[in-house]
Amino acid sequence: MSVIATPARQSAGGISARTVNRIVIYGLLALFALFYLMPLFVMLVTSFKTMDEIQNGNMLALPQAPTFEPWLKAWGETCVGLTCAGIKGYFWNSIKMVVPAVLISTLLGALNGYVLTKWRFRGHTLVFGLMLFACFIPFQSVLLPMATILGSLGRFGVTLRNATGFSFGLGNPTVNLVFVHVVYGLGFTTLFFRNYYEAFPTELVKAAQVDGASFFQIFRRIMLPNSMPIFVVTVIYQFTNIWNDFLFASAYAGTGDAMPMTVALNNVVNTSTGVVEYNVNMAAAMIAALPTLLVYVVAGRYFVRGLMAGAVKG
């Protein structure tokens, strides 16, 4: 629906009210586009400038002698805390954390959604409601107990390693973060699949049942082949959230070699020793932002759908 843009033809003499209207609308839209683009633009151009140019030049000016040096330095040399080996290690930390966490939470969410819509039992709404509410809690209210438990598990892991030579991942910060993200991501993934499967024809499931298909057969042969869109939405949503997480990352892997990208970036920027290399900081921020930005550019439609599903229906 559109109101201002009525196709009414104005008189040909002079500038019609409609033209003025359109100019104002386009002007405002362009102005806001600038507002949204400005920080990214500044970040990007700064990351290609030399320090000299940053100190003496204009923030908005394009780099006069574009250099890739800050990016290389951010990737391989800059100091995170006391170690000066760039952010590449932390980038991989994030990848190692994100991939398993996304896959596990998405798969569990799919199964949960399937049960909660096609195999309903008494109290299914309550179960779902309890899982859904978990999406909204401030994680501060579980932060401390989780830290205590992870600490105990870590000590148990050391005992295990001394006894068997292998700690089974207990006490490994990356494993811990995968676990934490699966636990606190389940609510959202379940929500996505539940709402999607709710609209999926139950008759199909019922017919398959009559034909003797089992619980998992129906899931694999009927539900999964029809779940591609919601899988994409969920994976993107989880990927973005887990990649961007800072609270859990700083609480459970805030120091040491296992910290994820967000924590490392914050450390790079707030490292106060020596000259602050703004271009390197901006390059590091761009590297931290690239994976999610890339996903957004490639699959923006699904990204928005995920946000909407997480918002409008929960």
Partner 1 sequence: MTTVTTQIKLTPEHSARPGVSMRSRLQDALPKIVLAPSFAITVVFVYGFILWTVYLSFTNSKTFPSYSLTGPRAYQRLWRWTFESDPPSSWYTSIINMGIFGFLYIFICLALGLFLAILLDQKIRGEGMLRPIYLYPMALSFIVTGVAWKWFLDPGLGLEQTLHQWGWTTFHFDWIKNKDFVIYTVVIAGVWQASGFIMAMFLAGLRGIDGEIMKAAQIDGATTFQLYRRIVIPLLRPIFLSAFIVLAHLAIKSYDLVVALTSGGPGGSAWLPSNFMYEYTFKRNEMAVGSASAVIMLMTITAIIVPYLYSELRERPR
Segment near partner 1 (CB under 8 A); pick from 25-33, 72-80, 155-163, 224-232: 25-33
Distance CA 254, CA 271 (A): 14
Which position among 10, 64, 159, 202 is part of the footprint of partner 1 (CB under 8 A)? 202
Tell which residue, 100, 237, 242, 244, has the closest CA to residue 175. Answer: 100
Residues 269-298 that bind partner 1 (CB under 8 A): 269-270, 278, 281-282, 285, 288-289, 292-293, 295-296
Closer by beta carbon to partner 1, 231 or else 239: 239
Distance CA 129, CA 133 (A): 6
Tell which residue, 154, 151, 181, has the closest CA to residue 167. Answer: 154
229 near partner 1, judged by CB under 8 A: no
Residues 2-21 that bind partner 1 (CB under 8 A): 2-6
23 near partner 1, judged by CB under 8 A: no
Considering Cα of 39, then 45, then 48, then 54, what sign does the dihedral take?
negative
Cβ(65)–Cβ(50) under 8 Å? yes
Question: Closest distance between partner 1 and the C-beta of residue 179, in Å?
Answer: 9
Inter-CA distances, 239 with 64, 105, 188, 306, Å: 36, 11, 12, 11
Question: Closest distance between partner 1 and the C-beta of residue 88, in Å?
Answer: 17
Residues 172-201 that bind partner 1 (CB under 8 A): 183-184, 186-187, 190, 195, 198-199, 201
Segment near partner 1 (CB under 8 A); pick from 30-38, 65-73, 155-163, 170-178: 30-38
Inter-CA distances, 217 with 103, 176, 182, 192, 238, Å: 20, 33, 25, 22, 26
Residues 61-100 that bind partner 1 (CB under 8 A): none
Q: Please count the residues of this chain forming the interface with partner 1, following the rule CB under 8 A.
A: 103
Residues 38-57 that bind partner 1 (CB under 8 A): 38-40, 42-43, 46, 54
Question: Closest distance between partner 1 and the C-beta of residue 104, in Å?
Answer: 11
Which position among 17, 20, 23, 37 is part of the footprint of partner 1 (CB under 8 A)? 37
Closer by beta carbon to partner 1, 40 or else 166: 40
Question: Closest distance between partner 1 and the C-beta of residue 83, in Å?
Answer: 19
240 near partner 1, judged by CB under 8 A: yes
Tell which residue, 240, 273, 289, has the closest CA to residue 47. Answer: 289
Residues 115-174 that bind partner 1 (CB under 8 A): 115-116, 118-121, 125, 127-134, 136-146, 148
Cα atoms in the Cβ-side hemisphere of radius 13 Å centred on 264: 30
Which position among 17, 60, 62, 158 is part of the footprint of partner 1 (CB under 8 A)? 60
Provide the Cα torsion 239, 241, 246, 251; round to 10°.
Answer: -80
Segment near partner 1 (CB under 8 A); pick from 33-41, 64-72, 166-174, 227-235: 33-41
From the number of C-beta atoms within 10 Å of its C-beta (0-12, 13-18, 19+), residue 238 rates as: buried
Which position among 19, 152, 159, 214 is part of the footprint of partner 1 (CB under 8 A)? 214
Rg (CA), the chain: 25
Distance CA 79, CA 87 (A): 8
Question: Closest distance between partner 1 and the C-beta of residue 165, in Å?
Answer: 29
Closer by beta carbon to partner 1, 92 or else 313: 313
Distance CA 223, CA 213 (A): 12
